[in-house]
Structure formats: C-alpha cells, structure tokens
C-alpha cells in the first residue's frame, strides 16, 4: 500500500473537514499531535484573519494567556 | 514520559511474592501457566496506580478479594519515572480494614519529599503526576486486555474524546474553557470599569474646563475693558459735537432776541397809538355828556320843594283809617263767639235728657242677664253629676276588653310558634341527615389527608437526603479543588525554599572558590619568588665564581638546590591548589545551574500555583456551602477520607434532587388539595351545626310540649274572661287543626289537641273588637256631654262680663248727669244772649264814623280800598326820595367829566413823548402827523402791519426750540460725562478684580502696560468669546451633573478617581474580557480540530499495524461513526476492512473471531499510538497487553511478535509488556522475559540493579508498610 493510497483513504475518511483542513491533516499525519502547536497555529490563523487591529491584539493576548496556562498545566 | 521502574508485590491475589526491575526500554514477555499470577501482575500495577482492582465488583469487602487467600494483608510497591521525577507508590491492604497508601516523590535537585499517606490526596497527586490519566483512560489506551479488546469500539464518542483529551493533556484546556467563560460578572465589571474611566475622564476634564472657563472669562473682562475704553472715546467725541452745536444755537438765539425787542417796541407803539385814539374818543364823549347832567340837576331841585310835602300828609291819613278798620274787625269776631257759645249750651241740655233714658234701659238689661245666668248654672250642675256616675263603669269594662284582646293576641302568637315548631321538626330531621353525611365525608377525607401527609413526609425526607448528599458532594468537590490549589500554593513555597537553599549553597561554594583562588595565587607567588631567587642565585653564583673561586660556588650550589627544592614544593602545591580551584569552580557552576534550575522550577511553580483568587473563590464557595475552610492539606485529606466518594456526578445528584423536589411539590399540592377539601367539609359541618343551633332544632320536641301547655293555659284564661263579658267560648283546637293540616303536619297536632271546642278564636276576636268599639263610643258620648258643660261655663262667664259692662256704663251715665246738674246751663244761656246784643250796637256806631272820614280822601269805603290807597301813596313817596338821592350822583358825574377831560389831555402829551422815543429805533414814521382820527388809524395800521411781518409767534417758537435744543445738548454732554465716569469706574473695578495696579490714565496704552491681555482682544471678539464661554459653561455644568450622577451610581463619594489607574483597570478588564471571550472559542476550536484530526491518525496507524498483524491479508480500512450529541468527532467507532475476496469494505462483524480480534487489537494499538502527544512529559511510555489474542496459529504468533518487537511500537513506546499463558511464544523472540508459576517468578532475564538502591527501596517499602492504617 503506497503512501498516496493511504492519504486518499484518509481523505475519504475526513469528508466533514474543509479542503484546507484536509491538506493540513495529510501533511501532519505522520507527526505526533501537539496541542500547544495546534493552539498556536489556530490562534495565528485567527489573528491573520482578524480585520480589526484591536481584535488582533486581543487574540494575541489570548494566545499568550492560553499558552501560559497550557504550559503550567503540563508542568504541574 | 512515564516509565515503569520497579515492582514489588506481596500476597496480591495469586502473587505470593514478586520483585521486578523493569528495563527502561524493551519488550517484555511474561509467561506462565494458568493461575500463575500473570494477570495479577498487571492488576498489581493498575492497583498501585489507582488503588482499585481491574474488576470493580464494589462489594462490602471488595478490596479484601485482592489479598491472597490465607494471608491478612497484601502490599504492592511500584516505582515509576515520570519525566525527570521518580515516583514510588506503596499500597497495603489489610483484610477488613481497607487500604493505606504511601506516595513518595523525588524531583531532581529538590531532594525527597515527605510521603503522602492520605488516600484522596495520593490519588489526586498520582493522577496529576500522570498528566491526568486516570484508570479509565489507561484501560482505554495503554492497557489492552483480552476481555476489553472491543472496549474502544463500544466506547461512546464522548468517552473516546475524554480519553484523548486526558492523554493529550487537553483536560487543562477543557478546564481553561470553564475559566474562559464570559460571565455577567465580567460584563458588569467591564461596564463598571468603563463607567469609572468615564467618571475619571469627567473628573479630569472638569478642572481643565474650569481653567479654560477662567481664561475665557479673563478674555471677556479684557474685552469689557476695551469696550469701556471705546465707549469713553465715543462719549468724548459726542461731547465735542454737542459743544459745537451749542455755539451755533447761542448765535441764533441772540439774533432772535433782537427781533423780539423790535416787536416789543412795535407792540408798545401800537398800544400807545390805540390809547391816543381812545383818549381822543373819551374826551369827545365827556364834552357831550356834561350839559345833559346839568339839566337833570335843575329838575330834581324843583320836585324837592313842591311834590314831597303833599305826599307825606296823604300817607298819614290813610294809616289812621287802616287802624280803625282793625278795631271794627275785632268787635265783629267777639260777636260771632258769643253766638257759638249759646248754641253749645243748648246742645248740653239736650244730651242730659238722653242720658236719663239710656240709664233706664241699662238697668232693665242687668235684670235680664242675671236671670239667664241662673239658668245656665243649673244645667251645668246636672251634667257634672251624670259624668261622675258613668265614667268608672265604662273604664272598667274597657280595661277588661283590652285584657281579653291582649290575651287573644298572645294566644295567636303562641299558636304561630307552635305551628313553626311543628314545621321545624321536619327541617331538623333533614339537617340531622345532612350533618351525618358531612361528618362521614369529613372522616374519609381526613384519612386520605393523613395518607397524603405521610407520602409528603416521605418524599420530603427523600428530597432532603438527596439534597444533603448533593451538598456533601459539592463540599467534597470544593475540598478536592481546594486541596489541589493549596498543594500548588505549598509547592510554590517549597520551590522558594529550594531556591533559597540553592542560593546559600552557591554562596558557600563561591566563598570556597575565592579561598581556593587565594591559595593558588599564594602558591604561585611562592613559585615565582623561588624561581626569581633561583635565577638570581645562579647569576650571583656564576658572577662570584668568576670573581671569588669555587669555595663560594659550593655554598651557592647548596643554596640553589634549596631554592630549587622550594620552587618544586611550591609548584606541587600550586598544582594541587589549581585542581582544588577547578573542582570548586565546577561545583560553583553546578550550584549556579542548580540555582537556575531551582529558579526555573520556582517560576514554573509560581505560574502553576499562583492562583490565590481561585483558592479564595473555592474558600468562599466552601463557606457558602456551610463548610469550614480546612487549615491544612492533611485536614482536607482527612475530611475527604471521611466523606464517601460518590459514583454519581454532581449533575446527576442535582437532577435527582430536582426530581425529588418536584415530587415533593406535587405531593404537597395534593396535600393542599386534601386540606382544602377537609376545610370545606369542616365549614359545611360547622354551618349545619350552627344552623341547627340557631334554629334550635335540638329542642324542637321540648318546644312543642311547652307550646301545647301554654296554649291550654291561655285557652282557660280566655274562656274565663269571655264568660265575664258574656261572650261565647273559643275553640282553639279546631283552628289549630286546620292550620297544621295546611302545613302538612296535621297528625301531630291532632294527637296533641282535643276537638271539643266549636267556636274559633277569630270569631271571638270580632266580638271583642265590636264590644270594645261600643264601649269606646259610649265613652265618647260621655265626653261630648262634658264638652257641653264647658260651653255652659263659657256662656255663664259671658253673661257675667256683660253684666259687669252694664254696671260700668250705668255709673258713667250717673256721673255725667250729676255734672250737668252742677253747671246749670240754662243760666249760662241767658248771660250769653245779653253780651251778644251789646256787641252789635258798638259795631254799628264805629262803621258810621269811618264812612265820614273816608269820603274826603276820594276813595271807596272798605278796609281793602284803604289799604291799597295807603300802599300807592307810600310808593310815590319812595320814588320821590330815590330821585332826590340821584341828584348827588349826577353832581359827581358832572365833576368826573370835567376831571376826565383834563386827565386825557395830560395823557396825550405823555403818549406823544413816548412815541417820540420809539422814533429813534423804529423811525420817524411812528410820530402822528396830526391828531385827526384818520391819520392816527393809518399810523396804527402800519404799525400792526410791521408787527405782522415780524411774526412774533414763530420767533418765540423758534426761540423756545433753540432753548430746548440747547438744554438737550447740555444734558447730553452731562450724560456723556457720566458715561465716561461710569466706564472709568468699571475699568477700575475690573483691574482690581484682576489684581492689577491702578493705571496712570484711563487710556489703552496705560491699561495695556499694566494688563497686557487687553491688547490681545478687541470688541469684535466678544461674540466669539461669549459663545465660547456659554459652550464651556454648559459643558462644565453637564459634566458636573454627570459626575454627580455617576459618583452616586458608582458610590465613589467625593473621592476623585485617578484617570491613569482607571484607564489601566479598564484596559486590564478589557483584556481579561477579550481573553475570556476569545480564549473560550479558541480552546473549543482547538479541541474540535484535534478531535477531527484524531480519526485519520488512528486509521493511518491502523493501516500500518493491520498488515503486520494479518501477514498482509488486510491492509485497508475505513473508520466511520455516526453523529453523537456532545461529541465533535462522532459516536462509537465502526470498523470496515477491505476484503479482496469480497471486493469491498466488509464490517468487522463479518469476520471470524480470531480475525475480528486482530482487527480490534490493531485498532487498540493504533489508537494508543495516535493519541500520543508530541510533548511526552507525562505520557505513558509503556503499553501493557494481557493475552490480547487467545487463539492464533503460528503465523499469527510470529506476526504478533513482529509487531511487539518491531519498529512501529518501539518507535512510540519504551516498554511493551505482553502477558501470555501460552508457550507458543518463544522467549528468545523478546529481549526480556519472565516466567511465572504459582505466584512466583521462576525465571527472568530482567536486568539487576544496584543492591544499595534495592536496599534503600526495600527499606522505604518496609518503613512505609509499618505505618498503621489508622494513620493513613
């Protein structure tokens, strides 16, 4: 079974995901999941998509707060 | 990563004794026959971690089943490596006493912590150290049992996601979600901060506004000064203009005054000319009047001497005749009086006769009246006697009849009462039946009420029990949370202590390094000194050898040897000192690293544990729940150990509590309905009882008997009274029978009463009424006779009055008659007639005398004629006297005429003189050329023409107008001066208000010198400044109002808020609000995205494992699931495998048992790999498999070995532990193996460890195992 077929099958299994999300999943499929990285990536996506500067700043601060809380929880 | 390190088991299930040191990496095969204790080994690991068996049969002594039969206690000690920490868990079970635990943690560089012996605390700490992986999570992921091989497929989506979250450490994110919820309190805080900032801005703006307002006010004052200065300038210009106009007015007035002087001279000349003309006219008239006056004077002299004496004599004669006629008139009057007196006397004589006749008639009337009075008195006496006899008889009869009437009325009432009682008897029976029915209904309803009350009480008790349980559960949760937070806070404190100790250690090492450096330097100095001395010695030796010979060389050589030895000794110690310095430096570096590590650990602890607000919130919640805040972690552990851990969640308990409360409410409503029904029935019963009591139905029989007795007594009494009056006897019973029959109660009345009477009471009533009426008529007749007596008495009195009148009249007539007899009127008549005759004679003589004297005067006889003649004579005499009196006046007029002529001549001379004076100014034409009237009139006409041309009225008007204008100009000048003075005062006042000195003069230059602001503004700025001032004032007023309102609203009182602080607070609150708002969404989105990613990852790893397990038979799968509420990644997993023979994806159920187990095992292993996070701090590095595949052939065995020992699992897991009872596996296939039998390890190639370490751990185990369970 080739890697391409696996990815095709996986693509079929994730029919409820958006195309962008599916591409992301396929590229990360062999890697372990990192909630921290996921949080950073999603927050960055939202920050990039935010049109308002104030909203960007709020998202940035939220991102930092969440990462801090996540790190504290992991170290605990 | 979590690595299993060491396991010691004593008497745990089938395990008798076990002591295994697990390798840090590698696959371990554990083999043995059935009941050799293989599964117990895994269960002991599970029990050590979570304090519960894998088979959770929660009986009374469920832990006792874990103790080996025949022993009373079991002990399990498990050592693990969690990241960089070591964790040792020892659990001991004593039969019938439960378990005790000892948790020991050792972090790198922090020494060994105090062991945790409380069960709840230890459990929480272990779960926390394992990254939140609880027993359920472990069994869903890294612990694969044969009987739970399908566990993942049967797991719900929510459960699966919970497992994934715990392994990935997303529970922290989930908890973050809870803490990142925007609450109304947050919105309230944000709103309050916004309002406080607004208030602070207002409070900061108000002083600025006040200052701006002051500046604008000062500018307005400056503008006012400019305005006043401009006003002064304007007023001064006005004054100059008015003074110029005043000069012009004065010149014109002088001109008009000259014109007016000429007019006055003309007017005077005209008047003089008029007087001249008048004087000439008066002189002509006086000269004509003088001769006429002289003629009148001569006529008056003539009448005085001839006509006046004759008139005086005639008047005297006529006066005497008039007096005589008066005498004649008086005599005639006396005669007439005498005739009237005679007539009166004759009338008196006639009245005297009439009085005698009247007296006789009155005496006759007196006699008649006395006779009538006697008759009336007799009749009156007879009537009184009749009344005295009949009145008592009639009164007695009337009284008896009234008594009979009353008794009959009373009898009728008693009869009615009797009939009513007979009627009430039926109603009383009906009431009694109703009362009985109501009482019966009441008893039944009360019984139902008691039953419902019992139900309510029972339901309420259940609700209270559930509520109490729910309350305890809430307290337990809060205590657990408090324990966690408190533990974090204490960890922060410990980290601080460790940092302090590390600092102290570093300082000591630093001091030691300094000492080592000093020692090194000292030895280095010694070496250098020795070397220098050696070189100097060598040089000196050579020099001295050349100079002094070999003897000194020997001595110098010895010295050089000593110096070289000293240098060598110093060099040796220097090297040692350098080594020590290097060692100390390394220690210092280590200490610094340790300090940095401790600081990092402290910062991490601070980040994790600095949650005082959450701790305070939990303490507040505890107090709100009525629980005391524990003083220490030991106390909370003790409290948690005291309370039972509920298997039900708080939400379930609250739902149960709500259900119980609803059931209790329903029961209470039913109870209320029953109570209302009881109340209604009680009211009905009370109403019936009150009606019975009010109507007296309880004593109705007694009333009937009493009524019958009263009827009999009254009937007897009435019979007696009727017989006295001769009336027929009444028959009450017959009438009663009719009445009762009409009321349908005839039987009772018939039996009670007899029927011997024939006449009813109504007939007797009629007879009594008729007799009563007759008696009353007789009494009335007697009373009418009494009225006649009164008439007789009145008649008698009338007669008596008439008699009295007759006697009075008789006396009056007798008195009048006596008076006539005393006066003798006949004699008086005779005397009057004689006097009458004498008077007639005298009158006749006097008339004759008068006729003779009248005749010579030439007038007719009569008193009137004489009087007229006398009056005419007197008038003539008076006219003559008047004419004589005018003679003096005429003489005076004549003299006046003469004098007037002389005066006029003198005046004319004077007038001509005055005209001559005016001719100087007016011209010579003013002088008359001659005294003739025409010339004078022409001259006067010219003079008047001149006057008319001069137009005096207009000149005067113009002069008045000029005078008014002059006054107006002067007033205006005064007004302007006053305005200037006021402007100066205003400027001075303004300067004083602005604290400016007094100017030298009130001009712009001097004022600008002392107040430069005035130069910057002009009058044109006023409107702009006023508008600006008004705007600022309004804004200030609005801000002050708003500040007051907001201060009241925010309850800040009179304290001014700091703007920067308020702004900072708002920014913080906004950041917190936005963080919560976005944080919640972010965390949820991350959660969902990770869950979405998990399905393809499981499929990916399964497609790697499945071909290995099935020797390439199956390689392609589909993982699907249905949507599930509360799960973002769907419900339970459904597995479909590509089957080449079937040519499609086949569900797992279509496969044989062995193949299906392979599929499930592949899914479990894929899931265990897929959920591994990138950060492996607290992620299990082991996977435990308990006989995953029961029946398989050799190929499958080899495939399984390939999987367990192959790169896929070893890439992700450090330790793979496989338990199998079969001997199919070759131990050589695995790097490590353990063979067990009868609860003991009979063969093992597991690595051995240091004996000291083992002793240390065993000592720890023994030491902890000796702690009594009661202390745990």
pLDDT exceeds 50 at position B537: yes
Task: Determine whether the interchain pair B1118/A12 forms a contact, defined as Cβ–Cβ distance below 8 Å.
Answer: yes
**Reading across the β-sheet that carries B1134-1139, which strands appear in turn?**
B1117-1120, B1134-1139, B1144-1147
Smallest Cα distance from B121 to chain A, Å? 15
pLDDT exceeds 90 at position B582: no
pLDDT single digits (tens) B1080-1110: 888 888 888 888 888 888 998 998 899 888 8
CB-based contact, A49 to chain B, within 8 Å:
no
Q: Which of B12-26, B100-114, B228-242, B961-975 has the lowest mean pLDDT?
A: B100-114
Nearest to B1173 among A6, A14, A33 (CB): A33
HEC string of B339-375 equals HHHHHHHHHHHHHHHHHHHHHHHHHHHHHHHHHHHHH
SS3 B923: coil
List the single residue in B with minimal CA-CA distance to A43.
B1082
Name the range with the highest mean pLDDT among B291-295, B1155-1159, B1219-1223. B1155-1159
Rounded to the nearest 10 degrees, what angle do helices B700-725 and B184-548 cross at? 150
Report residue B733's pLDDT band, with 50, 70 and 90 as the boundaries: low
pLDDT exceeds 90 at position B1163: yes
Question: Residues B168, B1145: contact at Cβ < 8 Å?
Answer: no
| Residue % of chain B over a pLDDT of 70 | 93
Q: What is the pLDDT of residue B302?
A: 77
Q: What is the pLDDT of residue B897?
A: 83
Mean pLDDT of B105-111: 79
Q: Which of A27-41, B193-207, B399-413, B1234-1248 has the lowest mean pLDDT?
A: A27-41
List residues bridging with B18 in a β-sheet.
B9
- Tokens linked to B770: 């008729």
List the single residue in A with minimal CA-CA distance to B1082.
A43
- Tokens linked to B960: 């008045």
Nearest to A13 among B1085, B1086, B1095 (CB): B1095
Residue of B1160, B1163, B1119, B1118 whose CA lies nearest to B1139? B1118
- Tokens linked to B174: 């989930």
CB-based contact, A48 to chain B, within 8 Å:
no
Between residues A29 and B981, which one has the greater pLDDT? Answer: B981
Between residues A5 and B136, which one has the greater pLDDT? Answer: B136
pLDDT single digits (tens) A10-68: 334 334 445 555 545 544 566 788 888 888 999 999 999 988 888 888 888 888 888 88
Nearest to A35 among B169, B1071, B1177 (CB): B169
Per the listing, tokens 């090297």 go with: B575
Task: Output DSSP code: residue B1134.
Answer: E
Spatial distance between the Cα atoms of B221 and B219, rounded to a whole number of angstroms: 5
Smallest Cα distance from B656 to chain A, Å? 33
Task: Determine whether the interchain pair B172/A69 forms a contact, defined as Cβ–Cβ distance below 8 Å.
Answer: yes
| List of chain B residues whose C-beta atoms are within 8 Å of the C-beta of residue A9 | 1099, 1103, 1116-1118
Which helix (H) or strand (E) segment is B6 a member of? strand B2-12
Spatial distance between the Cα atoms of B1138 and B1145, rounded to a whole number of angstroms: 4
Q: What is the pLDDT of residue B160?
A: 92
For residue B34, how many other CB atoms are within 10 A of its CB? 8
Question: Residue B101: how many CA atoms within 13 Å on its side-chain side?
Answer: 25
Instruction: Measure CA B248 to chain center.
Output: 79
Where helices occur in B3-112 by DSSP H, the ranges are 38-50
| List of chain A residues whose C-beta atoms are within 8 Å of the C-beta of residue B1107 | 1
pLDDT exceeds 80 at position B659: yes
Smallest Cα distance from B1189 to chain A, Å? 25
**Whole-number mean pLDDT of chain B?**
83
List residues bridging with B1124 in a β-sheet.
B1127
Instruction: Measure CA B555 to chain center.
Output: 118
SS3 B1228: helix
| Residue % of chain B over a pLDDT of 90 | 11
Q: What is the pLDDT of residue B1192?
A: 66
Task: Determine whether the interchain pair B172/A74 forms a contact, defined as Cβ–Cβ distance below 8 Å.
Answer: yes
Q: What is the pTM of this model?
A: 0.43
**b or e along B7-29 (b: 16 or more beta carbons within 10 Å of the residue's beta carbon)?**
bbbbbbbbbbebbbbbbeebbbb
Q: What is the pLDDT of residue B75?
A: 94
Between residues B747 and B783, which one has the greater pLDDT? Answer: B783
Task: Output DSSP code: residue B100.
Answer: E
Strand extents, DSSP E, B377-451: none
Mean pLDDT of B376-404: 80
Report residue B374's pLDDT band, with 50, 70 and 90 as the boundaries: confident
Smallest Cα distance from A53 to chain B, Å? 13
Query: Phi and psi (nearest 5°) for B1235?
Result: -110, 130
Report residue B1234's pLDDT band, with 50, 70 and 90 as the boundaries: very high
- Tokens linked to B1242: 């009979």
Task: Determine whether the interchain pair A43/B1118 forms a contact, defined as Cβ–Cβ distance below 8 Å.
Answer: no
Report residue B58's pLDDT band, with 50, 70 and 90 as the boundaries: low
Mean pLDDT of B966-984: 91
| List of chain B residues whose C-beta atoms are within 8 Å of the C-beta of residue A36 | 1175
Mean pLDDT of B738-750: 49
- Determine the Cα angle at B348 with ends B347 and B350, to 5°: 65
Given the candidates 3.40.50, 1.10.10, 1.10.287, 1.20.120, the CATH classification of the domain at B466-550+560-649 is: 1.10.287
Spatial distance between the Cα atoms of B760 and B412, rounded to a whole number of angstroms: 11
Query: Phi and psi (nearest 5°) for B629?
Result: -80, 125
List the single residue in B with minimal CA-CA distance to A29.
B1097
Question: Residues B1183, B1217: contact at Cβ < 8 Å?
Answer: yes
- Tokens linked to B1067: 């920014």
pLDDT exceeds 80 at position B647: no
pLDDT exceeds 90 at position B1167: yes
Spatial distance between the Cα atoms of B1233 and B1231, rounded to a whole number of angstroms: 7
SS3 B87: strand
List the single residue in A with minimal CA-CA distance to B84.
A75
List the single residue in B with minimal CA-CA distance to A65.
B1075
Pairing of strands B73-82, B2-12: antiparallel
Q: What is the pLDDT of residue B745?
A: 43
Spatial distance between the Cα atoms of B629 and B948, rounded to a whole number of angstroms: 128
Q: What is the pLDDT of residue B645?
A: 66
Q: What is the pLDDT of residue B1026?
A: 92
pLDDT exceeds 80 at position B572: yes
Q: What is the pLDDT of residue B723?
A: 76
| List of chain A residues whose C-beta atoms are within 8 Å of the C-beta of residue B1174 | 31-34, 37
pLDDT exceeds 60 at position B315: yes
Question: Residues B803, B369: contact at Cβ < 8 Å?
Answer: yes
Nearest to B1099 among A10, A21, A37 (CB): A10
Q: What is the pLDDT of residue B743?
A: 55
Nearest to B1096 among A14, A58, A59 (CB): A14
Spatial distance between the Cα atoms of B250 and B963, rounded to a whole number of angstroms: 9
For residue B6, how many other CB atoms are within 10 A of its CB? 20
Question: Residues B535, B560: contact at Cβ < 8 Å?
Answer: no
Residue of B360, B356, B359, B366 whose CA lies nearest to B805? B366
Question: Residues B1127, B157: contact at Cβ < 8 Å?
Answer: yes
Smallest Cα distance from B1124 to chain A, Å? 14
Q: What is the dihedral of CA B287, B292, B296, B297, to 10 degrees?
A: 30
pLDDT exceeds 70 at position B1004: yes
| List of chain A residues whose C-beta atoms are within 8 Å of the C-beta of residue B1103 | 1, 6, 9
Q: What is the pLDDT of residue B83?
A: 82
List the single residue in B with minimal CA-CA distance to A6.
B1100
Spatial distance between the Cα atoms of B385 and B781, rounded to a whole number of angstroms: 15
Question: Residues B1221, B33: contact at Cβ < 8 Å?
Answer: yes
pLDDT exceeds 70 at position B1267: no
| List of chain B residues whose C-beta atoms are within 8 Å of the C-beta of residue A13 | 1095-1096, 1099, 1118-1120
Q: Which of B35-39, B222-226, B888-892, B1174-1178 has the lowest mean pLDDT?
A: B1174-1178
For residue B164, how many other CB atoms are within 10 A of its CB? 25
Smallest Cα distance from B8 to chain A, Å? 27
Q: Which of B462-466, B669-673, B719-723 has the lowest mean pLDDT?
A: B719-723
Mean pLDDT of B1123-1134: 86
């Amino acid at each position: 079974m080739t890697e391409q077929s696996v990815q095709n099958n996986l693509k079929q299994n994730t029919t409820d995901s958006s195309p962008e999300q599916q591409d992301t999943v396929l590229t990360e499929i062999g890697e372990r999941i990192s909630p921290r990285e996921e949080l950073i990536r999603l927050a960055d996506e939202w920050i990039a998509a935010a049109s308002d500067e104030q909203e960007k700043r709020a998202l940035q601060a939220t991102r930092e707060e969440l990462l801090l809380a996540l790190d504290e929880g992991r170290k605990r | 990563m979590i690595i299993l390190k060491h396991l010691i088991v004593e008497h745990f299930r089938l395990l008798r004794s076990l002591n295994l040191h697990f390798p840090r990496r590698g696959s371990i095969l554990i083999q043995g026959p059935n009941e050799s204790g293989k599964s117990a080994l895994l269960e002991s690991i599970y029990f050590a971690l979570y304090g519960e068996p894998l088979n959770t049969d929660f009986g009374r002594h469920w832990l006792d089943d874990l103790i080996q039969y025949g022993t009373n206690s079991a002990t399990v000690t498990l050592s693990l490596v969690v990241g960089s920490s070591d964790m040792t868990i020892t659990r001991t079970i004593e039969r019938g006493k439960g378990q005790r635990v000892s948790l020991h943690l050792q972090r790198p560089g922090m020494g060994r912590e105090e062991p945790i012996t409380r069960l709840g605390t230890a459990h929480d700490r272990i779960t926390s150290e394992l990254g939140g992986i609880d027993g359920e999570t472990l069994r869903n992921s890294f612990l694969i049992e044969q009987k739970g091989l399908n566990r993942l497929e049967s797991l719900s989506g929510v459960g699966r996601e919970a497992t994934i979250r715990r392994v990935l450490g997303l529970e922290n994110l989930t908890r973050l979600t809870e803490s990142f919820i925007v609450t109304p309190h947050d919105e309230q805080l944000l709103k309050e901060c916004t309002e406080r900032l607004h208030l602070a801005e207002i409070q900061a703006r108000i002083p600025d506004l006040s200052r701006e307002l002051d500046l604008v006010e000062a500018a307005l004052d400056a503008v006012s000064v400019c305005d006043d200065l401009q006003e002064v300038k304007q007023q001064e210009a006005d004054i100059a203009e008015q003074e110029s106009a005043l000069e012009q007015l004065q010149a014109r007035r002088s001109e008009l005054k000259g014109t007016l002087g000429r007019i006055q001279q003309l007017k005077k000349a005209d008047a003089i000319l008029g007087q001249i003309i008048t004087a000439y006219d008066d002189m002509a008239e006086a000269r004509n009047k003088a001769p006429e006056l002289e003629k009148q004077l001569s006529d008056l002299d003539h009448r005085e001497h001839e006509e006046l004496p004759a008139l005086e004599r005639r008047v005297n004669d006529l006066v005497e005749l008039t007096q005589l006629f008066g005498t004649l008139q008086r005599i005639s009057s006396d005669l007439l009086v005498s005739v009237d007196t005679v007539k009166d006397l004759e009338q008196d004589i006639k009245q005297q006769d009439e009085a005698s006749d009247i007296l006789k008639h009155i005496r006759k009337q007196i006699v008649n009246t006395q006779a009538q009075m006697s008759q009336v008195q007799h009749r009156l006496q007879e009537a009184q006697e009749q009344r005295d006899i009949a009145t008592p008889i009639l009164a007695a009869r009337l009284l008896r009849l009234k008594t009979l009437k009353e008794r009959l009325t009373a009898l009728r009432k008693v009869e009615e009462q009797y009939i009513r009682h007979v009627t009430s008897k039926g109603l009383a029976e009906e009431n009694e039946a109703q009362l009985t029915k109501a009482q019966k209904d009441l008893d039944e309803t009360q019984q139902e009420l008691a039953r419902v009350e019992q139900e309510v009480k029972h339901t309420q008790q259940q609700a209270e029990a559930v509520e109490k349980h729910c309350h305890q559960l809430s307290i337990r949760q809060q205590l657990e949370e408090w324990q966690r937070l408190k533990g974090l806070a204490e960890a922060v404190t410990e980290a601080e202590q460790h940092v302090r100790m590390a600092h102290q250690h570093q300082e000591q090492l630093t001091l030691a390094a300094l000492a080592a450096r000093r020692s090194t330097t000292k030895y280095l100095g010694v070496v250098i000194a020795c070397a220098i001395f050696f070189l100097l010695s060598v040089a000196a030796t050579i020099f001295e050898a050349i100079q002094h010979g070999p003897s000194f060389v020997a001595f110098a050589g010895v010295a050089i040897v000593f110096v070289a030895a000293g240098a060598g000794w110093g060099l040796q110690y220097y090297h040692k000192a350098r080594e020590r310095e290097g060692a100390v430096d390394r220690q210092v570096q280590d200490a610094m690293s340790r300090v940095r590590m401790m600081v990092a650990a402290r910062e991490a602890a601070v980040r994790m544990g600095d949650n005082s607000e959450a701790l305070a919130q939990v303490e507040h919640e505890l107090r709100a729940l009525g629980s005391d805040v524990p003083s220490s972690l030991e106390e909370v552990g003790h409290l948690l150990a005291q309370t039972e851990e509920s298997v039900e969640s708080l939400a379930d308990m609250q739902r149960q509590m709500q259900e119980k409360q609803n059931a209790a409410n329903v029961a209470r409503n039913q109870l209320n309905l029953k109570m209302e029904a009881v109340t209604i029935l009680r009211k009905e019963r009370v109403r019936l009882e009150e009606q019975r009591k009010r109507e007296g139905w309880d004593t109705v029989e007694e009333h009937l008997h009493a009524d019958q007795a009263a009827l009999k007594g009254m009937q007897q009494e009435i019979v007696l009274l009727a017989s006295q009056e001769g009336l027929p006897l009444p028959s009450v019973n017959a009438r009663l029978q009719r009445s009762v029959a009409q009321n349908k109660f005839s039987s009772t009345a018939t039996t009670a009463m007899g029927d011997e009477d024939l006449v009813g009471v109504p007939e007797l009533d009629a007879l009594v009424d008729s007799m009563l009426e007759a008696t009353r008529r007789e009494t009335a007749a007697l009373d009418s006779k009494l009225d006649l007596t009164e008439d007789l008495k009145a008649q008698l009195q009338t007669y008596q009055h008439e008699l009295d009148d007759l006697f009075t009249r008789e006396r009056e007539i007798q008195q009048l008659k006596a008076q006539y007899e005393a006066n003798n009127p006949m004699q008086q008549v005779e005397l009057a007639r004689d006097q009458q005759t004498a008077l007639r004679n005298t009158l006749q003589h006097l008339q004759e005398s008068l006729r003779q004297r009248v005749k010579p005067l030439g007038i007719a006889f009569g008193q009137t004629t004489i009087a007229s003649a006398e009056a005419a004579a007197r008038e003539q005499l008076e006219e003559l006297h008047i004419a004589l009196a005018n003679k003096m006046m005429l003489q005076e007029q004549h003299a006046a005429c003469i004098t007037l002529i002389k005066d006029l001549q003198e005046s004319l001379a004077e007038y001509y003189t005055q005209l001559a004076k005016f001719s100087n100014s007016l011209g010579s034409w003013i002088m008359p050329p001659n005294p003739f009237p025409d010339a004078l009139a022409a001259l006067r006409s010219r003079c008047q023409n001149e006057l008319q041309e001069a137009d005096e009225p207009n000149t005067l008007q113009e002069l008045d107008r000029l005078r008014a204008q002059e006054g107006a100009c002067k007033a205006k000048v005064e007004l302007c001066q006053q305005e200037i003075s006021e402007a100066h005062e205003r400027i001075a006042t303004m300067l004083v208000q602005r604290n400016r000195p007094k100017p030298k003069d009130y001009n712009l230059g001097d004022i600008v010198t002392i107040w430069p602001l005035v130069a910057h503004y002009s009058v044109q700025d006023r409107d702009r400044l006023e508008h600006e001032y008004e705007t600022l004032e309004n804004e200030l007023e609005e801000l002050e109002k708003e500040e007051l309102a907001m201060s009241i609203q925010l309850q800040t009182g009179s304290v001014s808020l700091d703007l920067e602080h308020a702004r900072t607070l708002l920014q913080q609150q906004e950041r917190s609000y936005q963080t919560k708002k976005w944080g919640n969404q972010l965390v949820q989105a991350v959660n969902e995205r990770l869950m979405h990613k998990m399905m393809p990852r499981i499929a990916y790893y399964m497609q790697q494992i499945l071909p290995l397990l099935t020797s390439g038979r199956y390689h392609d799968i589909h993982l699907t699931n249905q949507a599930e509420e509360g799960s973002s990644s769907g419900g339970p997993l459904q597995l479909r495998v590509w089957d080449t023979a079937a040519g499609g994806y086949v569900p797992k159920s279509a496969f044989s048992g062995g193949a299906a187990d392979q599929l499930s095992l592949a899914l479990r292993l894929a899931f265990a790999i897929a959920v591994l996070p990138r950060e492996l701090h607290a992620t299990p590095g082991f996977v435990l498999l308990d006989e995953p595949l029961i029946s398989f052939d050799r190929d499958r065995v080899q495939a399984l070995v390939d999987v367990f020992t192959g790169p896929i699992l070893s890439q992700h897991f450090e330790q793979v532990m496989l338990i199998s009872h079969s001997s199919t596996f070759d131990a050589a296939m695995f790097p490590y193996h353990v063979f067990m039998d009868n609860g003991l390890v009979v063969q093992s190639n597991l690595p051995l460890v240091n004996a000291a370490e083992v002793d240390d751990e065993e000592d720890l185990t023994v030491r902890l195992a000796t702690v009594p369970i009661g202390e745990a």
